[in-house]
Amino acid sequence: MALTGRDFLAMTDLSSTELMEVLGLARDLKAGKECQIGRGKTLGLLFRKASTRTRVSFSVAMYQLGGQVVDLDPSVTQVGRGEPTSDTARVLDRYVDALAIRTFAQEELDLFAYHCRIPVINALTDREHPCQALADLLTMQETFGSLAGLTLSYIGDGNNVAHSLMLGCAIAGVNVRVACPDGFMPDGDIIALAQSMARTSEVIVTHEPARAAGAAHVLYTDVWASMGQESQAQDRAPIFQPYQVNEALLTLADPKAIVLHCLPAHRGEEITDSVMEGSQSRIWDQAENRLHVQKALLASLLAP
């Protein structure tokens, strides 16, 4: 109930206690605990970017909580015809009970939150993907029983997923290592913030995949060119090739290490098919957990 009515715009919107409570509720809901907090309430989905897992998991989560979902497709609403964000936000604030937004600029999300009294949720921006990080931490917790003492190594582009993982791991007390090519590192302010928040863990940023992977409990990767960067994919491929998560890199990690990928994956590029389908992959559990953490998040934000 401490989260009732609040926004979730970034990982830093949760304290370590609140993060653990959301993960605990997600585990309970996944185990079959009944919760109908959403009965009579409506979630609006405003997505400027394509989506499979985020759209479907938010929709199913709200339905399972007893609520309804409205798809606010920008191509068929005034959102896509230039209506000021402030005007759209103040109208939607009177129609729906919560709003999940997937867009490019973090500033647009912040502007919606400024003009809305209802909870606004970051369903992905170019800066952060906090709902994904919640699912990742839940998957790690399920696998190892506890997050304490774990090390997550992210290999690849220092993008929005890397940002949320760095912050989420710092909040949860998980060691995090990020290995990226020169020129593709996470934003400097995110690195500094994560390092300042890491009270019982460490945050390391390097150019060396082997250094990051050594004895790690989790190897994590994402596509080399995110949405909106497709035109750069061909030029990026040779730069990122040494950062592929493959069998050789996996042998450097802890023998019981798991492999995660937020999907969609480009098999044979950032991750090999054999690693993705191998016994250490938890990618499909990770994808399923998007549903459970977002259900827990909605329940927490909509609690009376």
CATH code of the domain in which 61 resides: 3.40.50.1370
Task: Let me know whether 30 and 58 are in one domain.
Answer: yes
Q: What is the pLDDT of residue 230?
A: 81
Q: Are 3 and 37 in contact (CB under 8 A)?
A: no
Is the same domain home to 199 and 109?
no
233 band by pLDDT with thresholds 50, 70 and 90? confident
Reported as a single tens digit per residue, the pLDDT across 93-113 is 999 999 999 999 999 999 999
Query: Furthest-apart CA pair in the chain: how many Å?
Result: 54
Burial letters 226-252, b for 16+ CB under 10 A, else e: bbeeeeeeeebeeebeebbbbeebbeb
The share of the chain scoring above pLDDT 90, in percent, equals 93
Confidence (pLDDT) at 11: 98
Q: Is residue 3 part of a domain?
A: no
pLDDT single digits (tens) 2-43: 899 999 999 999 999 999 999 999 999 999 999 999 999 999
Q: List the one residue out of 67, 46, 145, 83 whose CA is nearest residue 301.
A: 67
Band of residue 178 on the pLDDT scale cut at 50, 70, 90:
very high
Domain hosting residue 73, numbered range: 11-128+290-302
Same domain, 88 and 162: no
The verdict on 163 and 53 lying in the same domain is no
What is the chain's length? Answer: 304
Asked if residue 257 is part of any domain, the answer here is yes
Residues 67 and 210 in one domain: no
Residues 117 and 139 grouped into a single domain: no
- Determine, yes or no, domain membership for 48: yes
> What mean pLDDT is reported for the chain?
97
The catalytic residue positions are 102, 129, 132, 222, 262, 290
User: Residue 45: which of 30, 35, 60 has the closest Cα?
Assistant: 60
Model pLDDT for residues 120-149, shown as the tens digit of each residue: 999 999 999 999 999 999 999 999 999 999
Total count of domains within the chain: 2
* pLDDT value at 231 more than 90: no
Mean pLDDT calculated for residue range 250-269: 98
Note the pLDDT of residue 270: 98
